[in-house]
Amino acid sequence: MFEWSEEQLAIRDAVRRFVEEEVKPNVEELEHGETPPYEVIRKLYQTFGLDALARDSAKRAIERKAAGSESSAGASGKTSGKAAGKAAERAEGGSNAAMTLIPIIELCHYCPGIVTALGVSTGLAGGTIMKSGTPAQMERWGLDLMTLDKVGAWAITEPDSGSDALGGMKSTAVRDGDEYVLNGNKTFITNGPYADTIVFYAKLDDGSDTPLRQRPVLTFILDSGMPGLEQSKPFRKMGLHSSPTGELFLSDVRVAKDRLLGESEGKPGGNEGRESAKGNFVTERAGVAAMSLGLIEECLKLSIQYAKDRMLWERPISEFQLIQLKLAKMEIARLNVENLVFRHVEMAAAGKSLTLAEASAMKLYSAQAASEVAMEAVQLFGGNGYMSEFRVEQLARDAKVFQIYAGTDEIQVTHIARDLLSR
């Protein structure tokens, strides 16, 4: 694949029109007002029937999971139901990849924050429940997240553990009869202030001597308003203002087993919670690459126009070779990131998945390229680039976070190296 198909281009153009009509006129409100992004995203979903598609797809996934658990619960090692389910899941995932990434790219021309709020709610919170939840949990919480009827948060980061999220995690889950009691603080949580449903990670504290770092990680599903759960107001931050980010405080939150993801602590010594968190790496990292592509495309478009319009020494600055070099480097970055995105779409369509090294390399390169392109766009715009009126200022602030969330640049390097060296 080296370009979008006719069908994909038609979808892209339709989404582009939506973004021009519904997002562009409201950028000021979304970026500098108090307007949360959820209504705009819901309108996108309704306009393109994505809510209905998501509902159908989620219902099929629930049926497959139910059939899979029945067949694996049955005797005689009949795993064909499960295997067929996995194959159908892969096929569905492949055909959805382009459909998921195209709106991400288009929305990032104006509001990368909206994409973050959307991606965390459907991809991380909803995706985790749909992947590892029981059929009942998928039905009760996953469905409404996938359709955007409800807003989700995915809470792993803590004030003292950031990049060391799993090892350094201090939030605890203590068994108490048939229930668990949860305590801990989470920070930098996208949608935290507004989430209806929260996927919450905590360490099992069973009173044993197991060092904190090695204790099993359990995943719980929480509802806003539960006694002992507090959701902060949105943080003020450098960029990404259309994505609300906040803290969560849990003080003796009591949950029954039906809120434990998969309704199981997993096998003794198993790593289900850690695997559930790591299972999001590839999707999340491919998503950031698509976001970078949208942002780079927009910076390049704005820069070309500005270079042609801005007159100095009685000629457009586009005639200066140093300006041409900036445009050329932006185009190189655009082509490279686009190729990485195409490769991911193609692989997903073939039912293949990126390795950890590939997904991390894709994210590392794309995030750095987006930051560099956006900062060079600011430079090309001169003083105007530093003014909020010219959109490259917002895009440059927004791009920086691509190098921080979903694993910092430095963490991507460690993951690439670990994967390569383990072969």
Ligand X SMILES: Cc1cc2nc3c(=O)[nH]c(=O)nc-3n(C[C@H](O)[C@H](O)[C@H](O)COP(=O)(O)OP(=O)(O)OC[C@H]3O[C@@H](n4cnc5c(N)ncnc54)[C@H](O)[C@@H]3O)c2cc1C
Beta bridge partners of 152: 197
Which among 206, 229, 69, 42 is positioned nearest to 133, based on CA atoms?
A: 69
List the one residue from 84, 99, 304, 404 that touches ligand X (CB under 6 A).
404
Interface residue with ligand X among 81, 93, 162, 228 (CB under 6 A) is 162
Interface with ligand X, residue 414, by CB under 6 A:
yes
- Nearest to residue 278, comparing CAs of 117, 156, 136? 156
- Judged by CB under 6 A, the chain residues 132 through 161 that form the site for ligand X are 154-157
Looking at the Cβ atoms of 155 and 173, the one nearer to ligand X is 155
Instruction: Please state, in angstroms and rounded to a whole number, the distance separating the CA atoms of residues 223 and 385.
Output: 43
Among 288, 302, 401, 416, binds ligand X (CB under 6 A): 401
Rounded least distance, CB 192 to ligand X, Å: 7
Q: Is 115 in the site for ligand X (CB under 6 A)?
A: no
Instruction: Give the Cα separation of 292 and 365 in Å (integer).
Output: 10
Q: Which residue lies nearer to ligand X by CB, 120 or 260?
A: 120
Shortest distance (Å) from residue 282 CB to ligand X: 16
Instruction: Reduce the DSSP state of residue 169 to 3 states and report it.
Output: coil
Residue 128 binds ligand X (CB under 6 A)? no
Q: What is the C-alpha separation between 229 and 371, in angstroms, rounded?
A: 36
Q: Which is nearer to ligand X, 68 or 294 (CB)?
A: 294
Establish if 405 lies at the interface with ligand X (CB under 6 A): yes
Residues 212-251 touching ligand X, rule: CB under 6 A, are: 240, 245
Q: Give the whole-angstrom CA distance, residue 195 versus residue 293.
A: 28
120 lies in the site for ligand X, by CB under 6 A? yes
Q: How many CA atoms lie within 13 A of 179 on its CB side?
A: 8
Give the nearest distance from C-beta 178 to ligand X in angstroms. 28
Site for ligand X in 173-202 (CB under 6 A): 188-190
Count, residues near ligand X per rule CB under 6 A: 20
* Residue 260 per-residue DSSP state: B
Q: Any idea how long the chain is?
A: 423
**Residue 130 beta carbon to ligand X: minimum distance, rounded to whole angstroms:** 17
Could you tell me the end-to-end alpha-carbon distance of the chain, in angstroms, rounded to an integer?
28
**How far apart (Å, rounded) are the C-alpha atoms in residues 96 and 345?**
9
Residues 2 and 340 sit within 8 Å (Cβ to Cβ): no
Nearer to ligand X, 72 or 414 (CB): 414
Residue ranges in contact with ligand X by CB under 6 A: 120, 154-157, 162-163, 188-190, 240, 245, 401, 404-405, 407-408, 410-411, 414
